[in-house]
């Protein structure tokens, strides 16, 4: 499984309510992703809610893009990434 950073732009802002409606929306995203063997790890949202940087595990960038299309969410860029842990280098 590879790891990807997905950059997205939401011109009107992204708002996910902390309600049953928001929970159902997120569950739908997770279920649609599973169809492509794509797993949403976490996301970072800018203060103005217009950009997100989302970490995904999946088999390919194409699978991540298909999942986004299935979920009706934009994709600006998909980059394959790896984890860099600075503390690995400290104290050596």
Which of these, 52, 56, 62, lies nearest to 30 by C-alpha position? Answer: 56
CATH of residue 8's domain is 3.30.70.3090
User: How far is the first Cα of the chain from the last one, in angstroms, to the nearest whole number?
Assistant: 29
Domain that holds residue 57: 2-88
Question: What are all long-range contacts of 83-86, with beta carbons under 8 Å and residues at least 24 apart?
Answer: 83/3
Q: Which two tokens stand for residue 6?
A: 């997905």
Q: What is the pLDDT of residues 36-81, one digit of tens each?
A: 999 999 999 999 999 999 999 999 999 999 999 999 999 999 999 9
Number of domains in the chain: 1
Per-residue pLDDT tens digits for 4-39: 999 999 999 999 999 999 999 999 999 999 999 999
Angstrom distance (rounded) from CA 64 to CA 78 = 8
Provide the 10 A C-beta neighbour count for residue 91: 5
């Amino acid at each position: 499984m590879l790891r990807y950073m997905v950059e997205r732009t939401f011109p009107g802002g992204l708002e996910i309510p902390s309600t049953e409606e928001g929970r159902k929306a997120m569950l739908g995203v997770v279920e649609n992703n599973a169809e492509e063997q794509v797993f949403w790890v976490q996301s970072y949202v800018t203060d103005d809610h217009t950009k997100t940087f989302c970490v995904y595990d999946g088999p390919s960038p194409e699978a991540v893009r298909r999942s986004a299309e299935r979920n009706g969410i934009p994709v600006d860029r998909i980059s394959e990434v790896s984890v860099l842990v600075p503390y690995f280098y400290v104290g050596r």
